[in-house]
Structure formats: C-alpha cells, structure tokens
Structure 1
Amino acid sequence: MNPKIIPNISVDCVVFGFNIRSKSLNVLLIERKLKSKDSNELIIDDFKLTGYHMFENETLDQSASRVMKELTGLDHLYKKQFKTYGSPNRLMNPKDIIWADSENFNLRTLTVAYYFLISTNDVNLENRKYNPQWFPILNLPELGFDHEQIIAEAHEDLKLKSLHEPLVFKLLPNKFTINELQNLYEAVLGIEIDNRNFRRKVIKKKYIIALNEKQVGVSKKPAQLYTFSMDIYKKADEKSYLINI
C-alpha cells in the first residue's frame, strides 16, 4: 500500500556542492517543464529545487532524506532544517498556478526547507530522474515558486554556521589542499582571504592533519594534502575557528 501524502505540507531541499576546479559553490536544481495540452507548446521551462509532499507515516527529517536519496542516490548526508515558508502568495506566480493545477498541487502549501552539503565528486548525476544539474550560486537560472528566496536564505544560514562550525569540510573530499580549503571559504562567504594569514592559521589547527601524500595528476608542482578530524575537533580545548570577519 502506497503511503498517503499530506497535501499541503512539503519539504524543499537546497543541495550545496563545491566544485574544486571552478572554485564555485553550486546548487543542485531540477528541470520544470510543462507543455500545453492544446498545442503541445512548452509553456513552462525553468528550474526548481527538489522537494515533495510529506508522507503521513514519516517525520520531516525522514521526508527530506527520502527526497535527497531519490535525487542523488545518497543518504546519511549532513542536513539542516532552517526555515518554514508559508506565505499565502508563495505559489501565486501565473506559471506556478499553471504548474500547481497540472500537478494537482495545493496552492496553500507550507514547505519546510532543508539544506544538504555534499562534495560534487561524491554524486553521479547521469541518468537520474528529473535531470538534476549543478549551477553556480552566483549564476542561477530562472527559478519557479519562491525558490530563489529559499536558496538565498539557505546560503545566508550556511555562511553564519561556517564561521563557527566545521561545516565546510562536508563540501570537500576527505583529502584536500590548503588552497582548496581557502577557495571553498571564499566561495561560501563571498570574500577574498589573505593567503598567508589563512595558511598560517590552518597549519596550527590540530584537527587539520597533514598527510604523507601530495596531489596527483596535476600539471604544476603537487601540493601537500590534508584531512579534517572531527574526533580531534570535538576534543579540542580551544574551538576558535579558521575564519574571523
């Protein structure tokens, strides 16, 4: 027996990923396409966050994890519930009304928003449902519903948390260079960081461990690789973090 949905409660998931090569913080979006029943003309052609109604037999966290698993094939990822959106006008754009009607979607739907953190290297998007695609947060396509606002507010929450918690390491591979870590902070926070000061702070932190390894497959001189230890971080007497702005 298929689980019953709660028709006016949904979850929307902002999936953040960091692209090491382009040095950009990205958001995972899915296509929203709809053709006219009369002319077969494409009347909606944009993107949106992935999300779905909550089932009656699950918690909000379970709903978000289910949506994420369907989108990426991954589970047990870092997730943060950050806000509920319930404006009576949030689905009243003309295109959104058409879409809601085609999907039998309740126009007075509340959505509980989560964001997830993932290394883009960890997910294979080929042949996945809804054709998910990464977009730089500074160059997003046209978005449906109030998803531009949801992404912006998720980003603000991530910025604040990144100043005090080691969240950014969820966006990196297990092994990384100091330059990659700095590039990530700059992408998340939208600032430029002095290279020498940052490196000096990083190598003093006991929870950032130098490995007996260097980069491979690079054309320039390979850089030292490091890893982050959550165990050491939790045991550290001094929790001052890498970035102060």
Structure 2
Amino acid sequence: MESEKILNLSVDCVVFGYDTNTKSLNVLLIKRYLKSKFTSEVLVDDYVLTGYHVLKTETLDDTATRVLKELTGLTDQYKKQFKAFGDPDRLTNPKDLVWIANEAFNLRTITIAYYFLLKTEDVNLEQNTFEAKWFPINALPDLGFDHEKIILEAYEDLKEKCLSEPIIFKLLPDKFTINEVQDLYQSILGIDIDNRNFRRKLINKKYIIALDEKQIGVSKKPAQLYMFSMDIYNKMFSKNYLISM
C-alpha cells in the first residue's frame, strides 16, 4: 500500500553538477508543461526543481534521497538541508495557480530545501523521464514557483561552504589535476584565482595526494594527477577536547 503524503509539506532539491569539459557549475531542472484541457493553449511552459511531498512514513532526509534517486538513479551523494521556505505567497504566481489547480496541490505548502553535489557525467539524461536538463548557474531559464530564490540561496550556501569544507571534491573525478581544482573554484566563486599561488597552497596540503600518474588522452603536455584523502583530512581536522572521557 502506498504511504500517504503530507499535503502541505514538501522537499525541493537543488542538484548541482560540475561539467569538467565546459568548466561550468550547473543546476539540474525538470520541465513543467501544461496545456489547456479545452483548447491547444499552452498554460505553463517552464522549468522547476525536482521535489515531492513528504510521505508520513519518511524522514525529511528520506524524502530528499528518494527524490534524487527517482530523478538521477543516484544515491549516497553529498546532500545538505539548508533552509525552509514557507512564505504565504510563494505559490501564488498566476501560472503556478494554474499548475496547482491541475495537480491538486495545497496552496500553503512549506518546502524544506536540500542541495546535492554530483558530477554531470554521472547522470544519464537521454533516458530521463522528467525531461531533465542541466543549466549553468549564471544562465537559468524561466522558473516556476519560488525556485529561483531557492537555487540562489543554495548557491550562496555552497560558495560559503566550499571555502571551509572539502565538499568541492564531490564535484571532481577521483583523480584530478590542480588546474581542474582551480577551474572548479573559479566556477563556483565567479572569480579569477592566481594560478601560481593557488597551486603552491594546494599541493602543500597533506590531504592532497600526488599520484604516480599523469593525464592520458590529452593533446597538450599531460599534467600530474592528484587525489583527495578524506582520512587524512579528518585526522587533521579532528576535534581536540580539553578532557578525554
């Protein structure tokens, strides 16, 4: 028997993906399209975040994980719950009201927002039933509901966290070059970083491990490959207690 959903509580997921080819931070969005039942008029044609009502048998994290799996087929990705959105007018745009009437949504729905980090190459869009598409964070399409606000707040949180936590390595291949790390930081932060200074600082980090490998299949001189060690990072940044119990 299908579990009953909570009609005024939902989870929306901002799925960030990094494309190493275009050096672009992207957001995965799904198509929202509705035609009139009586004419051929298109009533709604835009994009939204993926999300769903919370089921009564689920935790919020359960819902977020389920939503991501249904959209991408992926599990065990980095996720963070970052804010609740519950303004009384968040769903009152005219086209949103049309959509809500068709889908029988509760007009006063509160959503708990999460964001996920993954690699764009890990998502197969050709077989995606949601008509999902990647959009650069700085070139978002027309969005429904308050989803532009949710995306931009998730992006601000990501920019802050990437400076203090090693979450950017969730967006990179397991083996990467220093230039790829720099490109990713520049893409997220929207700034140019001094190459020589960045390289010196990064390779001096003990948790950035130089491998006995170089790039393959590149036209230019192959670069040194590195990997990130979470074990070393955790040991370096473990909490120090004044009294051991």
TM-score category by the smaller chain? over 0.9
- The aligned counterpart of 2:37 is 37
Give me the CA root mean square deviation. Answer: 1.2
- The aligned counterpart of 2:215 is 215
TM-score (norm 1): 0.95
* Percent of aligned pairs with the same amino acid: 66
Alignment partners' CA distance in 1, 2:194 and 2:238: 23
CA deviations on 1:93-141 (whole Å, 9 max, x unpaired) are 0000000011001110000000000011222222112111110000010
CA drift at 1:235: 1.0
- The aligned counterpart of 1:113 is 113
- The aligned counterpart of 1:93 is 93
Amino acid paired to 2:163 = L
Alignment partners' CA distance in 2, 1:58 and 1:173: 32
When the two structures are aligned, how many residues end up with a matched partner? 239
CA deviations on 1:20-42 (whole Å, 9 max, x unpaired) are 11111000000000001111222
Kindly report structure 1 stretches of 4+ aligned residues shifted beyond 6 Å: none
Amino acid paired to 2:5 = I
- The aligned counterpart of 2:171 is 171
CA drift at 1:186: 0.7
Would you say 1:184 and 2:184 are equivalent positions? yes
Would you say 1:53 and 2:74 are equivalent positions? no
- SS of corresponding position for 1:64: helix
Alignment partners' CA distance in 1, 2:65 and 2:136: 23
| Paired residues of 1:121 and 1:173 also in contact (CA < 8 A) | no
| Paired residues of 2:43 and 2:98 also in contact (CA < 8 A) | no
- The aligned counterpart of 1:243 is none
| Paired residues of 1:5 and 1:55 also in contact (CA < 8 A) | yes
TM-score (norm 2): 0.95
| Residues 124-203 of structure 1: pairs in structure 2 closer than 5 A | 124-203=124-203
- The aligned counterpart of 1:13 is 13
- SS of corresponding position for 1:45: strand
CA deviations on 1:49-76 (whole Å, 9 max, x unpaired) are 0000000000000000000000000001
CA drift at 1:237: 5.8
Alignment partners' CA distance in 1, 2:23 and 2:237: 32
| Paired residues of 1:210 and 1:226 also in contact (CA < 8 A) | yes
Would you say 1:79 and 2:67 are equivalent positions? no
Unaligned 5+ residue runs, structure 2?
240-245
Alignment partners' CA distance in 2, 1:6 and 1:238: 39
CA drift at 1:238: 9.5
CA deviations on 1:147-206 (whole Å, 9 max, x unpaired) are 000000000001111111001001111111111100000111111100000000011011
